[in-house]
Amino acid sequence: MKSVKRRVVPFVLLVGVALAGAFGVGVSQAQEKRKSIVGTWKIKGWNAGREKVGKPNYVGTVEVEKKNAKGCYKLTWRIGKSVQSGVAVYDRKSGVLGAAYVLNGKPGVVLYRPDDTGDKLEGLWTLKGALDRPPGFEQWRR
């Protein structure tokens, strides 16, 4: 009888570990999917020095294209008839996206952070020539 108990306990532990591992893989895959930033996002933004309440100063889309496995991306903003390009790096661990762009000949930077669902990014941006004002604010939604 003792030998049966010895076999049952390790088997139960093995099944428990396997289930925990399978659940952990499922959660990890869900987090990876949630943190993917590739694709088209709807955007709205408020210009530097403006409060992020009420009607935004601009609306449009941004296309995010992955350029390599190490977290480098190409961004293309479409706001009205204007098309702007930028480059970005994405930290999967924190979910933070840092981007650089040029607008009307002036370099700019923006840092985006995700909400808990990964369906929204919010960012603060500034542009050369606007450093004397509070940063602008931009929100992306899937």
The answer on 109 and 95 residing in a single domain is yes
Question: pLDDT tens across 73-99, in order?
Answer: 999 999 999 999 999 999 988 899 999
Question: pLDDT tens across 24-39, in order?
Answer: 444 444 344 446 899 9
The answer on 72 and 30 residing in a single domain is no
Neighbours of 136 (CB within 10 A): 22
Domain enclosing residue 77, as ranges: 38-141
**In 36-105, alpha helices (H):** none
Measured CA to CA, the distance from residue 23 to residue 27 in angstroms comes to 6
The answer on 137 and 79 residing in a single domain is yes
Give how many domains the chain has, as a whole number: 2
The answer on 123 and 56 residing in a single domain is yes
The answer on 48 and 20 residing in a single domain is no
Measured CA to CA, the distance from residue 28 to residue 36 in angstroms comes to 12
The answer on 52 and 110 residing in a single domain is yes
